[in-house]
Amino acid sequence: MLRRVHEILSKKFPKWVFEERTEPLDWSILPVEMKREIVKHTDFETKCRLRQCSVQDKQIVDSLKVSIPLVRIETDRNYMSVMICENRNRVVRVDLKKKNKRLRKKFTMKISDNIHGSNAKEVCSNCESEAIFESLLKSVYRDNVTIETLNLSLKYPNDIITKYLDIHYREVIGPRRRTKILCSDLDFLIAQVHFLPVDETRVINNLVTNYEEGRIMMAGKKYNVSPMGHFASIGVTSFWKPSLLACNLGALIAGIIWKINTEMECYYIPGLRVPEYQEYCDRFEGRITKHNDILVLHIPARDPDNNQKLIIKMNKCGVVIEKRRFEDVPVFEKDKCILDWMCASCDKSVESWYFRAKHGIEN
């Protein structure tokens, strides 16, 4: 890192700055232009620390545009967490956990450098946990900071986070709307933040799925949250991991047709190749169409009273099985993989990487 900064500075500033000095360079005597170049190559945590050193350092940090791909905020009854993810190798996760000890409320603060919170170091602080949590939220909401995706998992009402979201995300207009708001977890208290312009709800449970050996299958359904006091059209699709016995694709298709009236609407199998698709077409009396590099298998339900069919999309990334009405035609989103965020080859964003790594579906 220091070598890289030295290379960049040596191209922009005279050589005497580096070669003719007998003593090491001191930060306080560096010109502002050089400080700016150095600060540009630091991570978000370093910028926040430097911002507290002096008025000039604060002005330098605030003059630089910072884009954070993913910020995750999680709350529970006695737990608060903020994770700032700049990329796969730059992660800061702060977990605050309250505990009752001798009738006095205390808390523990752990800081880790990975999304799972492992190998965290415990930090002592004289501040209240709410004050620390509020300062973390303020650090990611400054005029020069842009959040690409805000992931919320709110299982317990928290006045600090509710106020923060109300102030900064209630309105749909303005430059701050560039932030994608993604809610997750089954116990999400959407009624507490009903004013949010939520883009997507993504719910993943903890059941383990083994499709054949070491293969993951995801199944999705529409998530209706109206019983929780909010409108039903909150998001796109929520994803689940259902239990599934080891079987081949033919047995899976037969099982879905047999239970075609279940609430599951789509199934995703990353990385599965199907060279025998013609055999499945003949076996289930379907037909095959093609859309660019995607083969589509149309399989009707065998129940004459059921006006449904399966649309099976197959390409090099994997397989997607969708339940549709018999007269429906396949829908393909332009420049988007059929597996959406589950495909590591097509979607290399930090947000999608986080969900794949968090839930063990990296393919």
pLDDT at residue 238, as a whole number: 46
Considering the domain architecture, whether residues 75 and 172 belong to the same structural domain is answered as: yes
Considering the domain architecture, whether residues 137 and 251 belong to the same structural domain is answered as: no
pLDDT at residue 229, as a whole number: 31
Considering the domain architecture, whether residues 134 and 52 belong to the same structural domain is answered as: no
Considering the domain architecture, whether residues 159 and 97 belong to the same structural domain is answered as: yes
Considering the domain architecture, whether residues 87 and 47 belong to the same structural domain is answered as: no
pLDDT at residue 227, as a whole number: 33
Global pTM value:
0.80
Place of tokens 């709350």: 75
Considering the domain architecture, whether residues 192 and 72 belong to the same structural domain is answered as: yes
3-state secondary structure at position 122: strand
pLDDT at residue 340, as a whole number: 85
3-state secondary structure at position 92: strand
| Joined tokens for residue 178 | 């560039």
pLDDT at residue 179, as a whole number: 85
Question: Does residue 92 belong to any structural domain of this protein?
Answer: yes
Question: 308 and 324 in contact (C-beta within 8 Å)?
Answer: yes
Please identify every stretch of the chain with a pLDDT value under 50, giving residue numbers as ranges: 1, 103, 206-213, 223-245
Q: How many other CB atoms are there within 10 angstroms of residue 362's CB atom?
A: 13
pLDDT at residue 232, as a whole number: 34
Single residue among 166, 198, 230 that ends a domain in this structure: 198
The CA-based angle 156-88-131, given to 5 degrees, is 35
Considering the domain architecture, whether residues 29 and 76 belong to the same structural domain is answered as: no
Structural domain boundaries, residue 332? 246-346
Question: Does residue 44 belong to any structural domain of this protein?
Answer: yes
pLDDT at residue 124, as a whole number: 77
Question: Does residue 261 belong to any structural domain of this protein?
Answer: yes
Number of separate domains in the chain: 3
81-93 residue pLDDT tens: 999 999 999 999 9
pLDDT at residue 197, as a whole number: 76
Q: How many other CB atoms are there within 10 angstroms of residue 174's CB atom?
A: 8
Considering the domain architecture, whether residues 194 and 142 belong to the same structural domain is answered as: yes
Considering the domain architecture, whether residues 106 and 177 belong to the same structural domain is answered as: yes
Considering the domain architecture, whether residues 192 and 90 belong to the same structural domain is answered as: yes
